[in-house]
Structure 1
């Protein structure tokens, strides 16, 4: 919850920049935090009601607004956005409705080729890496890179590790990985430079559903360790490495 003074500051501190002839970028802050994410969520919800908005793409500290040039020119869209920001009840920031997504993960050498290196880098044993990663509740700050790829934060500080110096050309489907303060699940086979700890047997994208992705921006996400036998029984495999 935000007090009135903080609410007023929130409305006036958001920078609006035209980044193309049909898109504006709202910059909320330079610092990643739950408070900033709550503001972005609030604005995203409000802008969905504005006629002429084609797409809204939230990220850690920004919101990209794609608009219909038949409804707005470069001046009208900025005026409309300022009007929406001025009308928002900022005191409701933080009262977001979100789901909790629990993702089962097999943390094993067959599917977590970087697990040992991460443990060495962090000066921990492998069991402690798994415990820390799986007992943290993460927030989905942004969806991007590929459909269904959710950027989740923040990992415990002791698990902050750099990306790999040489990215893999193919990261297997379902790989669970960390990089810097983030963690994520690869929803499809793609190149990637994150440190892979394990794999989930569940699908992150359902192309036949209306919602498409299992994880949505603002959701809370937890990882639940599973045994090798449970992983294989649920359709998991060791392909890809």
Structure 2
């Protein structure tokens, strides 16, 4: 476990900083820490939010203050410092959940596919091939409910954000921004280059687990036809 920096976030949260580089090793440390927190919650723990290189731990200051020390932040920092000695990254842990994301690329579903292809002197089918050949790691969920930040995209199809973001990006849209790719789980504004769309519901507040994807999952994109898209969309919407 690397050295971890602690700092407060307001009066009811603490940030653990595991490093300053996005990589699988740091992700593994963060996942191991969240697993330990699940199994050994401290009094006053409210929730935690993993990110690329940090883990934010939210707590109830009043509950924490009942543990005998006056400063809740220092109390929580002491709990987490003690936990750090017990957190181990286990290489024999069960394989992460693997999810297939069907995507209809190009046309009305991916209006920026041609732009991304032209940017790199590629054909659209070559962009699709590069986008679907990778297994992606879900580093974190953020920006919007259920939005996955993924690692592993081929650098050959990296593309800048749009100069003028769209006011409405349809739910399920698959986009590229810089060296990252992701999926819009709900309709929202957005400036990513849209190359396709999935019929899957990545976020549904009525499910026991609203977000289809979680940090630590791995996904693969699979190209489908427009006909397959409409059929899968009907199933996803319960029709």
TM score, norm. by length of structure 2? 0.90
Q: CA deviation at 1:97?
A: 4.2
2:19 is aligned with 1:20: no
Query: Residue 56 of structure 1 is aligned with which of 43, 48, 52?
Result: 48
Query: Given the alignment of the two structures, is residue 39 of structure 1 paired with residue 29 of structure 2, yes or no?
Result: yes
Superposition pairs of residues 82-231 of structure 1, within 5 angstroms: 82-90=81-89, 92=90, 95=93, 97-231=95-229
Query: What is the distance in 1 between the residues matched to 2:146 and 2:59?
Result: 23
Separation of aligned partners in 1, 2:226 and 2:209? 30
Which runs of 5 or more residues in structure 2 are unaligned? 65-71, 235-239
Q: Is the alpha carbon distance of 1:61 and 1:175 closer, same or farther for their aligned partners in structure 2, counting shifts above 3 Å?
A: same
Runs of at least 5 residues in structure 1 that lack an aligned partner in the other structure: 1-6, 237-241
1:96, 1:153 → 2: CA distance?
Answer: 20
Distance (whole Å) between structure 1 residues aligned to residue 188 and residue 88 of structure 2: 41
Judged with a 3 Å threshold, the aligned counterparts in structure 2 of structure 1 residues 85 and 220 are, in CA distance, closer, same or farther, namely same
Whole-angstrom distance in 1 between the partners of 2:186 and 2:162:
19
How many residues of Structure 1 are paired with residues of Structure 2 in the alignment?
A: 225
CA contact (8 A) 2:113 2:124 kept: yes
1:239 aligned partner: none
Indicate the RMSD between aligned Cα atoms, in angstroms. Answer: 1.5
The alignment partner of 2:29 has SS state of: helix
TM-superposed CA distance for 1:232, in Å, is: 2.0
42-51 or 192-201, which moves further after superposition?
42-51
Deviation of 1:114 after TM superposition, in Å, equals: 0.6
Structure 1 residue 96: Cα displacement: 5.4
Q: Secondary structure at the match of 1:234?
A: helix
Matched-pair contact (CA < 8 Å) for 2:106–2:112: no
Q: Distance in 1 between matches of 2:165 and 2:103?
A: 22
Give the match for residue 4 of structure 1: none
Q: Secondary structure at the match of 2:61?
A: coil
Deviations along 1:4-44, one digit per CA (max 9) or x if unpaired, are xxx4xx2xx11111111011111111111011100000011
C-alpha contact 1:40 1:62 (8 A) present in aligned 2: yes
